[in-house]
Each structure stands twice: as C-alpha cells, then as structure tokens.
Amino acid sequence: MKRALLFSILVLTSAIASADTIEMKVYGLVCAFCAQGIEKTLRKNPATEDVVVSLEHQLVAVSTHPGQDIPDADLTKALTDAGYDVKGISRTQRPMTEVRAGLKQDAK
C-alpha cells in the first residue's frame, strides 16, 4: 500500500514538474492579426494549454499540459512556416499568470 501511494505521488509530482512554459523570442510580429494567427496555430497542438503573444516584447509564450511537451523543432517550424523568425527558445517553470503580469508591468 505504501509503495502504491509513493508511486502515485511520484507520478503526480513528475507530471506537475514537467509542465513547462516555453518562451520564444520571435521577430516579424507587427500587428494584432499576426498575434491572432500565431495563437490559433499554436493552440492546434494538443499539448498546448495556453498561449500569450506580445507584439511589443516580440514574445510568444506557450504553456503545455502537465506531462506533455512540444519539441523546439515543431515550434520553430510552425512559426517560420508562418513567416516569422525565431531568435530563441527557453523553457521555464514560470506560470502564464506571471508571464502576463510581467508584460503588463513592462507596459506601464
């Protein structure tokens, strides 16, 4: 019983720990239509939980469902196929609420 409980806790913890926010520096974002298109494209991926696009910061952030991932190559291909230039990809544990708050804070 103890082993089953420990195993369950480990599985849940690893699923929560692997929930990522993928932040990408993207050049070529110039209008709200660009942002809307990127968001729509990235939301088609079943691993995507949420998307934030900031024209001002040239930032695209994607959070994934716990335990799921989107390879960098897939993200880069989706954005370059749409005509944008991906300059960098970083993965963090930063929740999307924090990403949004940071963007709002910078806008002030």
Pairing of strands 85-92, 48-54: unpaired
Neighbours of 48 (CB within 10 A): 18
Q: What is the pLDDT of residues 12-36, one digit of tens each?
A: 444 444 458 999 999 999 999 989 9
Q: Which of 86, 83, 73 is CA-nearest to residue 34?
A: 83
Query: What is the CATH architecture assignment of 2-107?
Result: 2-Layer Sandwich (3.30)
> If you search the block for the tokens 């369950």, which residue do you land on?
8
Task: Report the amino acid identity of residue 85.
Answer: D
Q: Are the CB atoms for 96 and 39 separated by under 8 Å?
A: no
Q: What is the pLDDT of residues 46-74, one digit of tens each?
A: 999 999 999 999 999 999 999 999 999 99
Domain ranges of the chain: 2-107
Phi, psi torsion values for 83, nearest 5 degrees: 100, 15
